[in-house]
């Protein structure tokens, strides 16, 4: 059976993709494009899978030097504190691990899962499999990373944790949603000889903001959330396809003499800026069995 998503023209798919990657919800995309809700969701699932397959094949043999890793929170169906026995088993908090190359700004590896040592090792093993040489790695102070890094790199990595120290949370109704202030940082060397000048998580933390701005289901303090884990996975895959290949990065563009440059171009895995039609056209390519 041919899905409705595959019956759409490439131009129609591109319009829907443009709405989704710019932070619009499924319902807003329906209103803006006139497509049926089920069609938009089906396109997200099909195209998300195609984007994942393409990036899995393409983002290999990377000459990264400095990589930062962090995890970003979201939830499926309900926040963990509100989950009951009557809810589906995949409802609750979800964590998306993200690895970013500090130089090219490429995101070569990510994983939607839980804050466990097993999932942390999975994403670091995936990262390690895409690299050609030794890297300097920086993560936050989540303890599972130390165990995961040993399993993924076997000690062949210059690794340090950057641990943020927080003060007391603000009190009062005006600061109800304000985070506790960061009052300092602590560096913990884990393995190798990490260069102190490059022990940082600023780029991956900025990517967290990009994700919250670019995917509606990651936006805080709204009623936008996923009802299925697989939809989070496909949304993240589509987001990074757009981010890596189709969205020129201002810093990279400036460094390249004003020529629009994406992270994929800077990393040498693309030779031009992809268009939304290019991304939508991944569904027209033959799928390997």
Q: In the chain, what are the domains?
A: 4-284 (3.30.420.10)
Whether pTM exceeds 0.85: yes
**Residue numbers in the chain where pLDDT is lower than 50:** 1-3, 289
pLDDT recorded at residue 1: 34
pLDDT recorded at residue 260: 98
Which alpha helices (DSSP H) does 98-223 contain, by range? 117-129, 144-153, 202-214
**Alpha-carbon gap, residue 272 to 252, rounded angstroms:** 13
- Half-sphere exposure (CA, 13 Å, Cβ side) for 224? 19
**Alpha-carbon gap, residue 46 to 17, rounded angstroms:** 12
The dihedral formed by the CA atoms of 213, 220, 118 and 204, expressed in degrees to the nearest 10? 40
What the block records as the tokens of 174 is: 């005006």
User: What backbone torsions phi and psi does residue 186 show, to the nearest 5 degrees?
Assistant: -135, 130
Place of tokens 């990510």: 110
**Alpha-carbon gap, residue 24 to 233, rounded angstroms:** 17
pLDDT recorded at residue 175: 61
pLDDT in tens, 222-264: 777 778 889 999 999 999 999 999 999 999 999 999 999 999 9
**Alpha-carbon gap, residue 97 to 73, rounded angstroms:** 9
């Amino acid at each position: 059976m041919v899905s409705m998503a595959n019956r759409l023209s490439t131009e129609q798919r591109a319009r829907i993709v443009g709405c989704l990657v710019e932070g619009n919800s499924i319902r807003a995309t329906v209103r803006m494009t006139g497509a049926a809700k089920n069609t938009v969701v089906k396109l997200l699932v099909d195209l998300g899978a195609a984007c994942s397959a393409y990036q899995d094949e393409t983002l290999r043999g990377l000459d990264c030097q400095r990589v930062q890793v962090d995890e970003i929170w979201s939830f499926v169906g309900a926040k963990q504190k509100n989950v009951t026995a009557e809810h589906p088993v995949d409802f609750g908090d979800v964590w998306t691990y993200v690895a970013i190359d500090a130089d090219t700004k490429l995101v070569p590896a990510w994983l939607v899962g839980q804050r466990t040592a097993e999932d942390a090792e999975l994403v670091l093993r995936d990262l390690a499999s895409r690299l050609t040489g030794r890297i300097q790695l920086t993560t936050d102070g989540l303890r599972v990373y130390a165990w995961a890094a040993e399993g993924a790199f076997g000690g062949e990595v210059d690794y340090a944790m950057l641990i943020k120290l927080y003060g007391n949370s603000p009190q009062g109704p005006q600061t109800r949603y304000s985070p506790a202030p960061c009052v300092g940082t602590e560096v913990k060397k884990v393995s190798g000889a990490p260069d102190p000048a490059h022990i940082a998580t600023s780029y991956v933390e900025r990517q967290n903001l990009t994700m919250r701005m670019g995917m509606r289901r990651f936006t805080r303090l709204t009623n936008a959330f996923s009802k299925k884990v697989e939809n989070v996975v496909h949304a993240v895959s589509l987001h990074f396809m757009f981010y890596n290949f189709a969205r020129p990065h201002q810093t990279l563009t400036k460094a390249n003499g004003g020529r629009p440059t994406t992270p994929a171009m800077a990393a040498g895995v693309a030779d031009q800026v992809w268009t939304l039609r290019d991304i939508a056209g991944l569904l027209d390519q033959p799928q390997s069995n």
